[in-house]
Structure 1
Amino acid sequence: MHIDIDHDRCIGAGQCALAAPSVFTQDDDGFSALLPGREDGAGDPMVREAARACPVSAITVSDEGS
């Protein structure tokens, strides 16, 4: 799984961190970030829900090799 965060689009709503707190966090400025070592989603089934919950669609999730 590959997770991409468009930092130019992110508004810091925090919905990703609420939906999948084992993968997403917010940086010091309040914007979405991946936790260290969780760049591949760490098998968390809520990663795709976190992407869907983003109000500005700043997160994309794709299967590796896609």
Structure 2
Amino acid sequence: MRVHADRSRCMAAGHCAVTVPGVFDHGDDGLVVVTDEKPGEDYLEEIELAVDLCPSRALSVTRD
């Protein structure tokens, strides 16, 4: 699995960093930062929730 964040779409709502702090954070500019692009499958449910909660649809996940 690979996690991607489109920082140009991010509106800094923060749902991702709250939902999966081991995978997402916010940079100094307040926009999303992916801290673990290839997290383990045990994060899948939380990552899918973060993708669904993102109001700007800046997040995506693909399966390897």
Q: Calculate the TM-score normalised by the size of structure 1.
A: 0.84
**% identical equivalent positions:** 32
| Root mean square deviation of aligned Cα | 1.1
Q: Which runs of 5+ in 1 are unaligned?
A: none
The answer as to whether partners of 1:41 and 1:47 remain within 8 angstroms in 2 is: no
The answer as to whether partners of 1:23 and 1:42 remain within 8 angstroms in 2 is: no
Q: Which runs of 5+ in 2 are unaligned?
A: none
Amino acid at match of 1:40: K
| Structure 1 residue runs of 4 or more that deviate by more than 4 Å after TM superposition | none
Larger helix fraction of residues:
2
